């Protein structure tokens, strides 16, 4: 098992280098350059532009630029943003906590709403509740989140004044004691979390409903009913386990997603998250920043897959990795 | 008599405490600033924040005249070749050091330093020599008389004693923790969220009344307006629809006042003058007659704009209010096109010249819905006189590198946002046509060239104005651009701020005099300024 883990980890290195090389090539092949964008201004001379290209090393051939970049990356130096000259690592780190919190909270809300909803409507298949939840989650699925966001801001924010409209903290956040800071932050992100979760209920709740129905149809469950076991015992002890198993898969798949943010969503709620950072980076052709984000994203995807694979062996005794 | 006493008493509080201090103003901003060093700030969001923290030697007053800021007085000598600035004494940087001529020299040296990524070096490279006569006097000698030079000294001055040893300004700590001489000191910057400034108690003019200025970054216009309705921001720009319709909401009417100013930008359709289709002046003039700009303004800006009559905007002193734009007349357009050889040869409803159909592409940049709509209306209007127009929308970076710099366009729909000084040499002089230059349409009129150079050497504003008005007429006659519109700049401000006096130059010029009565103050935080 240990050998397997080490092997997987070692294999990740050439994979990461390959991914980073292809990404580097692609973003440098894209037309446009960092120095052309902010400098479209009659007061900027040609010399100024070339001066900048030289300053940032953009006048060198792409493969040399890549090796220079790789050399720095091996020292965990992600370089400096071309837009504001700040360290790429600190730009990413300051955005990470918000995105991570919102994504984890949404994931929790989705899990704790969708699975019970799905199970209960599976249990009460064909009932009014079942049909109502189906309608409800599919409305969520079909509603564009930016529209729902604006609507809830208008209603819950402006009209009722229950929630702040945008941003993640109040104006005088710095002057609050710590517990008020925490509450203020939660209060600000509750609307985004709710809107983000609503759209994702459908998938998981449908999934758990179907899986639950499938399990209920299994012979050992029918046997348990025939044996006269109380239904609560059948459900909690025998029927739920197989429904929860694939949850691990979903969790593993969402690890890289936890760090990504939706641009539209973050823009509407004025959340300073990773999605906007990436989008702005691409728009400004901020090469070091884009590369930094891509490498981190690639690493986490590989890591997520790896962890999920490991978790399978733990959850399902039938799966074993030799060597 | 009773009324008289009432009158006196009602004013008494204001006599004792003429203007209450305290409170904060929350300014909602769509874009986040990038760097808070005035000589590097190429985006308007950065420049706006910098204007609270830094001072130039000169500034624009409420009527858009240049007046002294860090310079008490100035004089020009040798027909404008030399400017001597007499600086204010006793002005302190936010860290307590005194401002002096050495800071001016330092700012100048940084501006022309090839290692400084500044967009503003152009005007300063025309300086031959900057000389410090004494601690408070600077003598600047230009290579030749250069009238836009004076306005370039509105550039914020940066402190020598802090930045002297800094090799790279952009990545310096200073760029996110600036120290200036201005009415507000930098306090805090949370990326993509907000920037907080606090009052500079020792500001050389007077202590501003409002304690804090906070910029909130809200990238979506719809969200920004909802924040206005919920009174989460005090000052914000508005779209025409918000200005005209959404502002009828009771939450808005009760709490906000609206402002409307012509902006200092204009939208134009630039022709590639090296393209055989647009070589003939008559064709360009015909297109100008064929496009109904009033209709465009009505449809796209809901009427919140003005037909553009050239490269100057109404608030500029170079603007010619007597000059009328060409009227909308499809007939005149058809006549001119006929003279240029275009007619419907095969009867398909579209114009041809020697069998070649009259069709071209308008290219505009992505992310600007307004421009896309304008392009669509032009397309429809030109179809009416038999011209086929296609529209292509391209991402900004590609637009500049591939389309503009490589001249791979027939027409482009773009806007210029110009500085207050009307010098348009860089856009229309025939020497400015190399790939990175800004006369990318390839305009070349020797008379305009001569006048542009002359205007740069003329210091008398009246004479300069006449020169620019002649330039304006010549350019409009030549139509290298189809001048479309000047949009209004629409904004709102919370009504609790007193002392706001809108003038020609906007309403922000006297911000340090604004105040909020104590009982209406909203953000009451104890803090040390």
pLDDT for B116 beyond 90: no
Low-confidence ranges of chain A (pLDDT < 50): 323
pLDDT for B344 beyond 60: yes
Are both B82 and B203 inside the same structural domain? no
| B351 inside domain | yes
- The answer to whether the CB atoms of A84 and B188 lie below 8 A apart is no
Token pair in block for residue B332: 């005149």
Contacts of A128 (CB under 8 A, 6+ apart): none
| B210 inside domain | yes
Are both B272 and B240 inside the same structural domain? no
In tens, the pLDDT along B187-238 reads: 999 888 899 999 999 999 999 999 999 999 998 899 999 999 999 999 999 9
Range of the domain at B134: 34-173
- Among candidates A31, A41, A283 on the partner chain, residue whose Cβ is nearest the Cβ of B401: A31
Are both B237 and B297 inside the same structural domain? no
Rounded percentage of chain A residues whose pLDDT exceeds 90: 4
pLDDT for B13 beyond 70: no
Are both B61 and B87 inside the same structural domain? yes
Whole-angstrom Cα Rg for chain A:
25
Residue B1 — pLDDT band, cuts 50, 70, 90? Answer: very low
Residue-level pLDDT at B215: 95
Higher pLDDT, B130 or A258: B130
> How close A178 gets to chain B, by Cα (Å)?
17
DSSP string, A107-154: HHHHHHHHHHHHHHHHHTTTSHHHHHHHHHHHHHHHS-HHHHHHHHII
Nearest CA in chain A to B250: A159
Are both B92 and B107 inside the same structural domain? yes
Are both B323 and B433 inside the same structural domain? yes
In tens, the pLDDT along B308-336 reads: 999 999 888 999 999 999 999 999 999 99
Are both B96 and B231 inside the same structural domain? no
- The answer to whether the CB atoms of B438 and A268 lie below 8 A apart is no
d(CA B277, CA A194): 56
DSSP state of B249: S
> How close A202 gets to chain B, by Cα (Å)?
27
> How close B250 gets to chain A, by Cα (Å)?
11
Q: How far apart are the first and last CA of chain B?
A: 44
Residue B527 — pLDDT band, cuts 50, 70, 90? Answer: low
Residue from A245, A272, A250, A251 nearest A96 by CA: A272
Residue-level pLDDT at B528: 47
- Mean pLDDT computed over B45-54: 93
- The answer to whether the CB atoms of B395 and A32 lie below 8 A apart is yes
**pTM (two decimals):** 0.82
Taking the CA of residue B187 as centre, how many other CA atoms within 13 Å lie in the half-sphere pointing to its CB? Answer: 19
Token pair in block for residue B305: 């704009």
| B4 inside domain | no
- The answer to whether the CB atoms of B227 and A48 lie below 8 A apart is no
- Among candidates A84, A150, A164 on the partner chain, residue whose Cβ is nearest the Cβ of B222: A150
Nearest CA in chain A to B42: A38
Residue-level pLDDT at A48: 64
Residue B2 — pLDDT band, cuts 50, 70, 90? Answer: very low
Total residue length of chain A: 323
Sign (positive or negative) of CA dihedral B232, B238, B239, B245: positive
Are both B310 and B237 inside the same structural domain? no
Token pair in block for residue A40: 């479209």
Give the CATH number, domain containing residue B236.
3.40.190.10
Token pair in block for residue B330: 């499809």
Residue-level pLDDT at B17: 53
| B366 inside domain | yes
Chain A residues close to B217, C-beta within 8 Å: 270, 272
| B119 inside domain | yes
Sign (positive or negative) of CA dihedral B363, B368, B374, B379: positive
Residue B3 — pLDDT band, cuts 50, 70, 90? Answer: low
DSSP state of B98: B
In tens, the pLDDT along B434-470 reads: 877 789 999 999 999 999 999 998 988 899 999 999 9
Picking from B121, B147, B173, the residue at the C-terminal end of a domain is B173
Chain A residues close to B427, C-beta within 8 Å: 42
Where does residue B220 rank: exposed (0-12), middle (13-18), buried (19+ CB within 10 A)?
A: buried
- Among candidates B43, B172, B217 on the partner chain, residue whose Cβ is nearest the Cβ of A270: B217
Are both B368 and B387 inside the same structural domain? yes
Are both B256 and B121 inside the same structural domain? no
Chain B residues close to A167, C-beta within 8 Å: 193-194, 216, 218, 232
Q: What is the dihedral of CA A162, A168, A173, A178, to 10 degrees?
A: 90
Does ipTM exceed 0.85? no
Tell which B residues from 196 to 215 touch A, by Cβ distance under 8 Å: 214
* B421 backbone dihedrals φ, ψ, rounded to 5°: -75, 130
**In total, how many domains does chain B have?**
3
**Helices assigned H by DSSP within B436-487:** 446-457, 461-478
Taking the CA of residue A123 as centre, how many other CA atoms within 13 Å lie in the half-sphere pointing to its CB? Answer: 13
Are both B428 and B319 inside the same structural domain? yes
pLDDT for B70 beyond 80: yes
| B66 inside domain | yes
Interface test with B, best of A53, A165, A187 (most B CBs within 10 A): A165
Residue-level pLDDT at A243: 78
| B9 inside domain | no
Interface test with B, best of A85, A169, A188 (most B CBs within 10 A): A85
| B87 inside domain | yes
DSSP state of B400: I
Tell me which of A2-6, B100-104, B298-302, B420-424 is least confident. A2-6
């Amino acid at each position: 098992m240990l050998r397997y883990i080490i092997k997987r980890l070692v294999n990740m290195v050439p994979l990461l280098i390959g991914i980073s090389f292809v990404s580097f090539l692609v973003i440098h092949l894209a037309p446009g350059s960092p120095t052309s964008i902010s400098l479209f201004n009659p007061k900027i001379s040609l010399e100024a532009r070339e001066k900048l290209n030289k300053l940032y090393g953009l006048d060198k051939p792409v493969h040399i630029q890549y090796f220079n970049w790789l050399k720095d990356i091996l020292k965990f130096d992600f370089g400096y943003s071309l837009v504001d000259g700040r360290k790429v690592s600190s730009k990413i780190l300051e955005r990470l906590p918000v995105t991570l919190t919102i994504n984890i909270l949404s994931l929790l809300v989705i899990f704790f709403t969708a699975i019970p909803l799905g199970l209960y409507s599976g249990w009460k298949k064909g009932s009014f509740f079942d049909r109502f939840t189906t309608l409800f989650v599919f409305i969520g699925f079909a509603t564009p989140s930016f529209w729902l966001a604006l609507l809830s801001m208008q209603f819950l924010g402006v009209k009722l004044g229950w929630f702040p409209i945008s941003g993640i903290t109040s104006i005088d956040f710095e002057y609050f004691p710590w517990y008020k800071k925490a509450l203020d932050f939660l209060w600000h992100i509750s609307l985004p979390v709710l809107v983000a979760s609503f759209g994702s209920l459908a998938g998981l709740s449908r999934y758990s409903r179907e899986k639950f129905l499938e399990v209920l149809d299994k012979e050992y469950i029918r046997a348990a009913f025939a044996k006269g076991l109380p239904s609560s015992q059948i459900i909690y002890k025998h029927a739920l386990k197989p429904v929860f198993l694939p949850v691990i898969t979903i969790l593993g798949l969402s690890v890289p997603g936890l760090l990504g943010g939706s641009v539209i969503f973050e823009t509407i709620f004025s959340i300073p998250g990773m999605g906007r950072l990436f989008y702005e980076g691409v728009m400004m052709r901020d090469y070091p920043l884009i590369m930094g984000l891509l490498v981190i994203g690639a690493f986490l995807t590989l890591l997520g897959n790896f962890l999920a694979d490991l978790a399978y062996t733990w959850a399902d005794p039938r799966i074993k990795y030799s060597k | 008599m009773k009324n008289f006493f009432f009158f006196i008493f009602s004013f008494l509080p204001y006599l004792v405490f003429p203007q209450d201090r305290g409170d904060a103003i929350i300014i909602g901003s769509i874009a986040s600033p990038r760097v808070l060093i005035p000589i590097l700030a190429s985006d308007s969001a950065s420049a706006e924040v910098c204007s609270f923290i830094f001072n130039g030697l000169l500034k624009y007053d409420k009527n858009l005249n240049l007046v002294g800021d860090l310079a008490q007085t100035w004089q020009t000598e040798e027909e404008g070749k030399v400017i001597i600035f007499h600086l204010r004494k006793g002005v302190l940087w936010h860290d307590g050091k005194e401002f002096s001529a050495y800071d001016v020299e330092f700012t100048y040296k940084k501006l022309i330093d090839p290692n400084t990524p500044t967009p503003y070096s152009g005007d300063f490279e025309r300086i031959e020599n900057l000389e410090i006569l004494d601690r408070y006097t600077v003598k600047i000698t230009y290579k030749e008389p250069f009238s836009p030079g004076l306005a370039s000294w509105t550039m914020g001055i940066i402190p020598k004693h802090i930045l002297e040893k800094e090799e790279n300004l952009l990545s310096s700590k200073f760029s996110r923790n600036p120290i200036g001489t201005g009415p507000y000191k930098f306090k805090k910057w949370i990326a993509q969220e907000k920037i907080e400034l606090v009052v500079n108690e020792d500001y050389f003019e007077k202590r501003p009344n409002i304690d804090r200025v906070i910029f909130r970054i809200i990238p979506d216009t719809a969200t920004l307006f909802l924040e206005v309705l919920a009174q989460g921001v005090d000052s914000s720009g508005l779209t025409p629809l918000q200005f005209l319709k959404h502002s009828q909401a009771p939450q808005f009417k009760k709490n906000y006042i609206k402002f409307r100013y012509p902006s200092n930008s204009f939208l134009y359709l630039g022709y590639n003058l090296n393209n055989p289709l647009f070589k003939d002046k008559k064709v360009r003039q015909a297109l100008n007659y064929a496009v109904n700009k009033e209709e465009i303004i009505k449809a796209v800006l809901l009427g919140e704009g003005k037909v553009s009559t050239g490269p100057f905007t109404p608030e500029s002193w170079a603007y010619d209010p007597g000059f009328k734009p060409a009227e909308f007349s499809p007939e005149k357009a058809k006549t001119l096109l006929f003279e240029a050889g275009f007619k419907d040869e095969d009867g398909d409803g579209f114009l041809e010249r020697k069998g070649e159909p009259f069709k071209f592409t308008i290219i505009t940049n992505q992310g600007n819905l307004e421009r896309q709509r304008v392009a669509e209306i032009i397309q429809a209007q030109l179809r009416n006189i038999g011209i086929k127009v296609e529209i292509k929308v391209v991402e900004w970076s590609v637009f500049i590198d591939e389309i503009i710099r490589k001249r791979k366009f027939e027409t482009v729909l773009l806007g210029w946002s110009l500085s207050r000084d009307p010098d348009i040499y860089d856009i229309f002089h025939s020497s400015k046509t190399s790939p990175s230059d800004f006369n990318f349409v390839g305009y070349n009129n020797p008379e305009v060239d001569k006048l542009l150079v002359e205007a740069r050497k003329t210091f008398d504003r009246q004479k300069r104005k006449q020169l620019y008005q002649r330039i304006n007429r010549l350019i409009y006659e030549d139509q290298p651009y189809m001048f479309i519109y000047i949009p209004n700049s629409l904004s709102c401000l919370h009504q609790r701020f007193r002392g706001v006096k809108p003038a020609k130059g906007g309403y922000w010029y006297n911000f340090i005099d604004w105040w909020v009565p104590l009982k209406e103050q909203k953000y009451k935080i104890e803090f040390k300024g």
